[in-house]
Structure 1
Amino acid sequence: MPKINELYQNPEEKLKATNVRWRIFIIMLLLGAINYIDRTSLSIAMPYITEEFGIEDTRVVGAIHSAFFWAYALMQIPSGVLADKFKTRNIIAIATIAWGAFQAVAALCHGIFTLSLSRLGLGVSEAPIMPAGAKLMGTWLTPTERGRGSMLLDGGAPLGTAFGAVIIAGLIGFFGNWRMAFVIAGIGTILAGLLAWWYIRTYPNEHPKINKAELEHIEKYNLDSKKTDKKYKLSDIKPYLKQRNVLALIFGWVCYSFVFYGLMTWLPLYFQATYGFNIKSMGSAMAIIFLVCFIGQLTGGYIMDKWRNAGGKTSTVLHTMLAISAITAGVGIFLCARSDNPTMAIILLTIALFPLRWASIYWSIPSLLGAQKVAGTICGTMNFTSNLFAAILPIVIGFIVQATGNYFAAMMFFAASAIGYLICSLLINFDKQMDIYE
């Protein structure tokens, strides 16, 4: 029995595939951007919060920042299992609405403890988005589309950090306090969650807007685009931890996260302490650096897919792109730390971050290596480990800055992490499929 939308479709329209899959990933890009606007809001508001709460010790600042990462990290593996067991559409919508509520509630906090609790709630509710997005990528995109898909899925990080700096700084300046900025950001997030519920579907054959041509395109190249009755549990990850590719994936993401999250968290205070930036110049610098980072991320995804479509070997393409990403980031950060010129520091960091987010291809690697059925669990484990270390990172950096009185040693730590990201990326064997355990 044909569907109603097929009966009334013009035969010529059937020849042209719809682009429902890309609209879904544009929505995921929007959610990712809002995700990072909410995360970045604390970094931008921190100079005002430290003054209002009377915080003078950078170690306390590090502890507040780490609250989010502890919760986010500890929920990654459970979130990956949820993504493998339940409808990703439901998980994405519910998580987005919940984190919007926690973002708004932070405006009611008047102390370190309650603010930290609100960040814990934000971390728990944001945790399912990326593992669920990795599942969507495996069911909706063909293998040679997943480079662009990865960049869209994870592109919200630099985009949200860039616009978050401008939006939150602008709202703080307009209202004269950070609380209204948090409320408005929270309401916007809740509305985005409703949009996700309205448009996203877990599987292509469930979507009312997809036509036969697009569905056939997806199913022709992607055998995992249909429903499966197989359910996965937390313990399923154990045998995968014995595989070199999985370990390289996990620790490469850890090292990359040290670089990106370290800069995202500490750059506002770094610019203020090192170069004397005010809220306006700080917001502008963050916007420039992370907007270019977003452009670089999309550029990298396009190059990867184009290169592979032209016949490029997967291992050659990805090893080359990831090596450029790591080396450029490490050298740029190293040179920035040795510069006393604020303009040059912004230029160097902009260059360093342009290719950094090419690491987003990590989200598609389990699917590329034949592990789509457990991609949520593997990606959840990858993100759990990286965010567990990311939870410790603000505390460590806080101690380093407090002990040295400047940010030079912290910047050297980020540069060294880029070397770790390089080594682990090169250890991934793209010619070997992951072993699957039923």
Structure 2
Amino acid sequence: MSNTRWRLFGLLLLLVTVNYVDRGSLSVALPMIKDEFGIGPEVTGVLLSVFFWAYAAMQIPAGWLIDRFGPRRLITAACLGWGGATALTGLAPNTATMAVGRAALGAAEAPIMPAGGKLNAVFLTEKERGRGATILDAGAPLGSAFGGVAITGLIAATGSWRWAFIAAGAATMLLGFWAWRAIRDTPETHPRVDDAERAHLARARADENARHQATGRRAGLVHYLRYRSFWAMCLGWLGFNGVFYGLLTWGPLFLSESKGFDLGAIGWSTFVIFGAGFVGEILGGQLADRLRDRGFGTNAVLRSLLGFAGLCVIGGLVGVVLVPGPVAAIVLLSTVLFFLRWVGLFWAVPAILGGTEDAGVLGGAMNLAGNVSGFITPIAVGLIVGATGGYTGALLYFVGAGVIMTISVLVLDYSTRLAPRATSAPVQGGAA
């Protein structure tokens, strides 16, 4: 069997990695940008937030377009668009034009994760989707880790944060052409999927659809709004991103202003912290699928793994507040990211709840909810830091987000598909 599906998810890992290098470049370069433009923490928070406003606003439209036109076209357009926006941000003469560039970046990046969720539903079997979800989402900590090193390295090599942004954007646009050649919307249309792999996936999809009595038609987002599991999915991702985006956007400044790290130390510390997240995410996906292969139920596996991870995240963040040393901060934040990224398993949830037909729009809704945290968190942290002159309140804000995430992952029913059934039988479980 050709196993093209796993090479496809390797490419998605690369795309999401570059995605996070580009979106995190502003945070890494902020010490230089703040000096050049003379901005305070409140304006910094707004500037960091602009990306997420546009990114969140485009999630549901992007998910609908993916279900309608397929992920291949949307991923290619996204790569070209966000690469161009990254390069143009490097030319910004002031904070207003930089904000416009960041908004364009957010809008262009919006289809990537919902498209990955759609490909997870179409190209992988039910017992492979945990690994697929975490391979896809592992690009977030990997890009955040390498982004710190890559952007600081480019700044050091060129002597300018502007040229670093231009180079990163040009590389992303080239990846768009590769994506068009390598991605297809279904296994049946992919030239590198052989007959054995195609038959394997077709059998698995037929068995899954028969078991869930799938209609083969899209139900649309409104159908899912009455189910508890839909809202738990959204709130879980909101809490998750309250922690992750908080550390992604304000983490470098926290290390600079609270721990006294210079630019080089920030780059390598970011690599260690988010690199731990990448390792944790890959291991979490492997562990979830292996436990399911051994016969443990989906609810038992995901609730236990993600509930334990949530407790570790909360404990680690409280530890950063109580233990002020710089080395302890790196160790504790690395632990937080290691367990936080287990919740990347959530990218299998749109396929679980909506099947192949509605995975795109459900992924968009989930990511919209998550990115509400994206645009609130940078502003909230900026206001907290500006008002208190320190980061203790911001860390407690992250603890609150971790609590929301932990409750949600324990409430969600991972075993019941919410899509309409061919027999029109009522869905058991997950109803609000």
Q: TM-score range by the shorter chain?
A: over 0.9
SS in 1 for 2:333: helix
1:354 corresponds to: 338
For residues 90-169 of structure 1, the aligned pairs below 5 Å read 90-169=73-152
CA distance in 2, matches of 1:339, 1:129: 38
Give how far 1:370 is off: 4.9
For residues 315-394 of structure 1, the aligned pairs below 5 Å read 315-394=299-378
SS in 2 for 1:431: coil
1:408 corresponds to: 392
Give how far 1:122 is off: 0.2
2:188 corresponds to: 205
Give the TM-score of the pair, scaled to structure 2.
Answer: 0.94
CA distance in 1, matches of 2:241, 2:177: 29
Number of equivalences: 418
1:423 corresponds to: 407
1:289 corresponds to: 273
Give the TM-score of the pair, scaled to structure 1.
Answer: 0.92
Give how far 1:430 is off: 2.4
Query: Does 1:398 find its partner at 2:382?
Result: yes
2:15 corresponds to: 31
Q: Sequence identity, in percent?
A: 40
Give how far 1:365 is off: 1.3
Per-residue deviation, residues 343-368 of structure 1 (Å, max 9, x unmatched):
11101111111121111111111322
For residues 236-247 of structure 1, the aligned pairs below 5 Å read 236-247=220-231
SS in 1 for 2:160: coil
1:9 corresponds to: none
Give how far 1:224 is off: 9.8
1:52 corresponds to: 36
8 Å Cα contact 2:148-2:271 kept in structure 1: yes
8 Å Cα contact 2:215-2:421 kept in structure 1: no
Change (3 A) 1:229 1:433: closer
Query: Which deviates further from its counterpart, 384-393 or 189-198?
Result: 384-393
8 Å Cα contact 1:218-1:225 kept in structure 2: no
For residues 185-204 of structure 1, the aligned pairs below 5 Å read 185-204=168-187
| Amino acid corresponding to residue 296 of structure 1 in structure 2 | G
| Amino acid corresponding to residue 221 of structure 2 in structure 1 | I
8 Å Cα contact 2:89-2:98 kept in structure 1: yes
Per-residue deviation, residues 49-93 of structure 1 (Å, max 9, x unmatched):
0100111x2010000011100000000000010111002111111
* Two-structure CA RMSD over aligned residues (Å): 1.8
8 Å Cα contact 1:203-1:225 kept in structure 2: no
CA distance in 2, matches of 1:192, 1:229: 36
1:313 corresponds to: 297
Query: Which deviates further from its counterpart, 194-203 or 362-371?
Result: 362-371
Change (3 A) 1:407 1:224: farther
8 Å Cα contact 1:237-1:378 kept in structure 2: yes
Runs of 5+ consecutive residues of structure 1 not aligned to the other structure: 1-16
SS in 1 for 2:90: helix
Give how far 1:230 is off: 7.4
| Amino acid corresponding to residue 117 of structure 1 in structure 2 | V
Change (3 A) 1:371 1:139: closer
SS in 2 for 1:277: coil
1:303 corresponds to: 287
Change (3 A) 1:370 1:121: closer
1:173 corresponds to: 156
| Amino acid corresponding to residue 273 of structure 1 in structure 2 | E
Change (3 A) 1:431 1:149: closer
CA distance in 1, matches of 2:216, 2:290: 34
Give how far 1:337 is off: 1.9
For residues 11-30 of structure 1, the aligned pairs below 5 Å read 17-30=1-14
SS in 1 for 2:193: coil
Change (3 A) 1:323 1:229: closer
Runs of 5+ consecutive residues of structure 2 not aligned to the other structure: 423-432
